[in-house]
Structures are given as C-alpha cells and as structure tokens.
Amino acid sequence: MNKTHRKFINKKCNNWNKSLITGCLMFVSFFGFAQQTKPNIVIIYTDDQGYGDVSALNPEAKFKTPNMDRIANEGIVFTDGHSSDAVCTPSRYSLLTGRYSWRTSLKKGVLRADGPCLIEDQRMTIGSLLQKQGYNTAMIGKWHLQMEFVGDVKEGGRDWSQPFTDGPIEKGFDYFFGIPASMNYGILTYLENDRVLDPPNMYTKKKMDVTPRTYRMTPPYQAEQSKGYVEVAPSFNDEYVLETLTNRAVKYINETATEAKNGKPFFLYFPLTSPHLPHSTHPDFQGKSNCGNYGDFMQETDYRVGQVLDALKANGLEDNTLVIFSSDNGAESNYEYQRDTYQHYSCMNFKGGKRDIYEGGHRVPFLMRWPDQIKAGSVVDTPVCQTDYLATIADIVDAQLPVNAAEDSYSLYHLMKGNTEVQNRAVIHHSFTGHFAIREGKWKLNMLRGSGGSLKPVIIEPKAGEAIYELYDLENDPGETKNLYFEHPEIVSQLKTKITDIIKNGRSTAGPSQPFIKEDWSQLTWMNLN
C-alpha cells in the first residue's frame, strides 16, 4: 500500500470514527443517558455535636458512629475544622452565606423561631448560587434563622392558614420541609415550602427528664397558654422528628436521582435537630448505647446519616456526590455529665463546650466524602471554617463570586484534591456572649478572659498585673492551659492588628471593603470602629 493510499484510508477511518462518536453522543443525549459532570452536594449538619462524638475521631468514644465513620474513612478529615460561632443561629448564617454573622445585627446569642430572617434580601447563599448553576436545591431540617408568620400569639392570635415569608424558599431553596428553630422554642410543627402543615394551636413546655439538664417537649399538650409554654401542633411528637426529617431527605434523593444522572444535579442542605436538647430519642434506639440517653440519641443520629448515604448508593449517585458533614458548634454543657458518668469525652481534650470561645465551643467534626475527587483516608490539619463552604462549592462548579458575597470564604477545593499548600489566612471565632478570638497558624488570641464549659460563660475582669487577653500555642497546647500573653507581645500585637483589619474591612478575603452593621458592639474592647 503506497503512502497516498494509506493517507486516504486513514482519513476515511478518522471521518468514520468522528461520525460514530458524534452519533453516539447524539443518541446518548436524545435518550437521556448523558453523564453527569457537576457533583450532587449534600451538607449534613448536626446540632451541638462535639468533636469527640464521632468514633472515627475518638477511638475511646462510648458509642459507635459507623456511618459518620464512613464519611471520614472514605473521604477527608479536617482535624482543625471550626463552626464560625459557638452557638446555633450565627453558625447557620455563616455556613450558607460564607460571611461571619457578627457583621449583621446579631452581635451575640441566637434568634428565635418567628421574625425577620437574618439572611438579608439579595444576599447570595449556597442555595441561590447553585440555583443559578442549574441545580435542584432543597433544605430539609431545622432552619433557625427566623421566618415571619402571620399574626402574634400575644396580640390577637395567629393565622396559620396564611403562608409564612422570609424562609428558605426566599433564600435559594426550591423545596423546604422542616421545623422553624430548635425544639426548645416554638413553633413546634412541620412546614413545607411556605406553609404550616398542622396549625400549632396547642401549648407545651420543657418537661424535665431524670438525667441532669435534660428535658422533653413531649405530649400531652394543653389548650391554653401559660408562662413558659410554647406553640405546638397536636400531631407533633419530639421522638419522631429525626425519623420524619430523614424520610423526607431520602424521598427527595429518590425523586431527583434520575434528573441528577441526566445532567441536573441536586443540592440538599440537611440540618438535623440532634443531639441538641431535648434528647428525644426514637423508641427503637432507647437504651441501646453505653452512654445513657445522649449516647442513644447519637446512635440514632448516626443511623439517620446512614439512611442518606444508603439512598445515594442505591440510586447510583455515591461516586459523584460531595457529602459534607459537620456540626453547628461544640457539645452542650451536659457533656460534663457524660464525661463524669460514662467517661465519654464529647469535647476530647479541648477546653469548654457550646457557647465558649475555647476550642470545645467551635472545633467540630469537619468531614467530606466525594469518591470521584477525594482520596479515601485523607487528613488535613490546616485551620478551616464553615464559612469556607460557599467559596469551595463555587470553585467546584466553576462559578464566579461577586465582590459583595462570601466575604469570609476561602476555597478548600485544592486541599480536598491533595494540594497541601497552606493559605495565608486567619480564622475568627465567636462566642455566645459575642466575644472574639483570632486563629492564625498555631497561635490563638482570645479577646477576653473567661470560664469555659459553663451554661452562661463568665467574663473575668483581670486584676492588676494580669493578662488582659489569652494567647495560646495550639500546636503544643491544644487544651489551652498555658496563657502566653506576656511571653509573646509581638504575636499579640500582630493578631490584634489583623483582627481589627478583618472587622473594619467588612471581609477577610481579598477584595474591596464591604459595609456591615456597626451599632451596639460593646465586645470590641481593643478597637474603635469610627
């Protein structure tokens, strides 16, 4: 065969191959077999779960969490991962918006169930970002960022037949099913999209349990409101909330799986109500652990996580789904009871717990699994924050963030893919009382002196000659036992300057300064905003 003939044959074969490939692609597209490229994304967010409440992170745990362990062992563990705050509402705001919540009007504490949503109109959330990227988006679980119901229980009553406003549907979610806030508040009923499913026209209150500092919101309910009582629907039973929410999440995955495989992925934000008080464990799990009712509740929580993971696998979505697992803050203060009674350390060796500026208040399980992209068994020790989720997801889907969004969000995508290059960034921590700490590298500067592990943290006024703030070397002292304030004045000065700049600039990432609410901010004792 001469060269001319060979060239002619190769050209014909190449043309035939191109036609065959084009035809196959057209066939695949026509019959709906196009391969999904962008991942599905599931964020599972527990409530008041300490770092030591995952058995993969705490081999001495007095209960096992095999499904949380699956995420850790099959994906990546961020050993130095943090919620943005030590309590619920601000952490949820930061997770969804990539912005520290103390830039809003909420300078301390948490919100209730009913009122204007903390997420501002037009502010980008993970949900709204992914809506624009062609995702189905759903939020199933506990909201606790407020929403507005028609009427007032104290002033003429409610109109439960009317839609509520300023909820998840207005903040980037196509579908919502869940409850308004924590189960120790009203309004205790299930909501779907913008409607109340069963009017909460009865009343209940905390009913103390036998274990110290635990209670239930269980029936029976009463018809008239009195002091301490909150609104509840007749059908509401706190023991079945986790089961109800998880069944909805599994149903959502099943219903959107076909679309996901055909090029329209989904984002599911799944904030659970556990192990937050009340420890309302499902009857099937009561008495099953070696750590009392708390351990039982954690084992149920793990089982519910497993139901979601199993639904992904059953629908063939496991490999191309990014599962993010974390908690909104550290363990509730009854972690001391579990520690002293059962030798279970929810907060490991970290000081403090929920509400505190110390590590136990905000260092939380921080896990990700994405088999297509993340190498199983990966570990990252770099300090990271839940504010980073938005920039990370934007990076994954190749979306450009505007300058007025995700002001405190750094992409972790490179870390997920095994690039361990450390970013030059600081992480800001925030307590229930609205006080601050700044973390950079191994150094952490607490901008107060206070007690750890208490229900209502006490701020200690320093005596003459004592340190004003607390400086810790977390690389060598993760338990925050030795205050190095006087030994390293240059580090104190550097960190004070950095946190001042981060607050004044309205952002911690690169970009133009952004506005924020400056009023009623007594906790900024080291700086002047003017």
Quick: pLDDT tens for 126-137: 999 999 999 999
DSSP annotation string for 292-339: HHHHHHHHHHHHHHHHHHHHHHHTT-STTEEEEEEESSS--TTHHHHH
pLDDT at 454: 55
- Peptide bond preceding 187: is omega within 30 degrees of 0, i.e. cis? yes
134 token code pair: 């062609």
238 token code pair: 């706190």
Q: What's the whole-number mean pLDDT along residues 442-462?
A: 73
How far apart are the C-alpha atoms of 181 and 277, rounded to whole Å?
Answer: 12
DSSP annotation string for 69-118: HHHHHTSEEETTEE-SSSSHHHHHHHHHHSS-GGGSS--SS---SBSS-S
Q: How confident is the model at residue 271 (pLDDT cuts 50, 70, 90)?
A: very high
Looking at the chain, the whole-number percentage of residues with pLDDT higher than 70 is 90
How far apart are the C-alpha atoms of 227 and 224, rounded to whole Å?
Answer: 10
Q: Is the pLDDT of residue 444 over 60?
A: yes
Q: Is the pLDDT of residue 332 over 70?
A: yes
Q: Where is pLDDT greater, at 285 or 9?
A: 285
How far apart are the C-alpha atoms of 185 and 205, rounded to whole Å?
Answer: 9
Q: Are strands 175-179 and 136-142 parallel, antiparallel or unpaired?
A: parallel
pLDDT at 383: 97
Query: Do 46 and 272 meet the contact criterion of CB atoms below 8 Å apart?
Result: yes
Q: In what order do the strands lie in the sheet with 470-473?
A: 427-430, 436-440, 443-446, 470-473
Which of these, 444, 434, 422, 459, lies nearest to 499 by C-alpha position?
Answer: 444
Cα→Cα distances 241→273, 281, 475, 523, Å: 8, 9, 40, 37
Q: What is the pLDDT of residues 374-431, one digit of tens each?
A: 999 999 999 999 999 999 999 999 999 999 999 999 999 999 999 977 778 999 999 9
Q: What is the pLDDT of residues 297-320, one digit of tens each?
A: 999 999 999 999 999 999 999 999
Burial class, 413, CB count within 10 angstroms (exposed 0-12 / middle 13-18 / buried 19+): middle
Strands (E), 408-499: 427-430, 436-440, 443-446, 470-473
How far apart are the C-alpha atoms of 89 and 483, rounded to whole Å?
Answer: 30
Q: How confident is the model at residue 185 (pLDDT cuts 50, 70, 90)?
A: confident
Q: Which residues contact 201 (CB under 8 A, 6 or more apart)?
A: 158, 160, 231, 233, 234
Please provide the size of the chain in residues. 530
Q: What is the pLDDT of residues 243-258, one digit of tens each?
A: 999 999 999 999 999 9
- Peptide bond preceding 275: is omega within 30 degrees of 0, i.e. cis? yes
Q: Is the pLDDT of residue 526 over 80?
A: yes
Packing angle of the helix pair 292-314, 241-261 (nearest 10 deg): 20
pLDDT at 456: 59
pLDDT at 363: 98
348 token code pair: 């490991």
Q: Is the pLDDT of residue 261 over 90?
A: yes
Q: Is the pLDDT of residue 20 over 90?
A: no
Q: Is the pLDDT of residue 433 over 70?
A: yes
pLDDT at 214: 82
Q: What is the pLDDT of residues 204-227, one digit of tens each?
A: 999 887 676 688 898 999 999 888
How far apart are the C-alpha atoms of 77 and 498, rounded to whole Å?
Answer: 28
Give the torsion sign (CA, 316, 318, 320, 326): positive
Q: Is the pLDDT of residue 175 over 60?
A: yes
pLDDT at 26: 43
How far apart are the C-alpha atoms of 125 and 155, rounded to whole Å?
Answer: 34
Looking at the chain, the whole-number percentage of residues with pLDDT higher than 90 is 81
Residue-averaged pLDDT of the chain: 91
Query: Do 269 and 326 meet the contact criterion of CB atoms below 8 Å apart?
Result: no
pLDDT at 88: 96
Which of these, 439, 442, 454, lies nearest to 499 by C-alpha position?
Answer: 439
Q: Which DSSP symbol is given to 365? A: -
Q: What's the whole-number mean pLDDT along residues 100-119?
A: 97
Which of these, 427, 527, 443, lies nearest to 483 by C-alpha position?
Answer: 443
Q: How confident is the model at residue 186 (pLDDT cuts 50, 70, 90)?
A: confident
In this structure, the number of other CB atoms found within 10 A of the CB of residue 8 comes to: 12
pLDDT at 458: 66
pLDDT at 35: 55
Query: Do 487 and 467 meet the contact criterion of CB atoms below 8 Å apart?
Result: no
pLDDT at 34: 46
Q: How confident is the model at residue 463 (pLDDT cuts 50, 70, 90)?
A: confident
Which of these, 389, 387, 367, lies nearest to 378 by C-alpha position?
Answer: 367
pLDDT at 156: 79
pLDDT at 466: 72
pLDDT at 422: 73
Q: Which residues contact 393 (CB under 8 A, 6 or more apart)?
A: 41, 126, 129, 130
Q: Is the pLDDT of residue 5 over 60?
A: no
How far apart are the C-alpha atoms of 412 and 365, rounded to whole Å?
Answer: 16
pLDDT at 420: 79
pLDDT at 328: 98
**Beta-bridge partners for 45:** 271, 326
351 token code pair: 């000081």
How far apart are the C-alpha atoms of 14 and 2, rounded to whole Å?
Answer: 18
Q: What's the whole-number mean pLDDT along residues 6-28?
A: 42
Q: Where is pLDDT greater, at 420 or 479?
A: 479
Q: Please compute, for residue 422, the number of CA atoms within 13 A of its CA located in the half-sphere on the CB side.
A: 10
Which of these, 390, 242, 239, lies nearest to 303 by C-alpha position?
Answer: 242
Q: Are strands 40-46 and 321-327 parallel, antiparallel or unpaired?
A: parallel
**Beta-bridge partners for 471:** 445
**Beta-bridge partners for 470:** 446
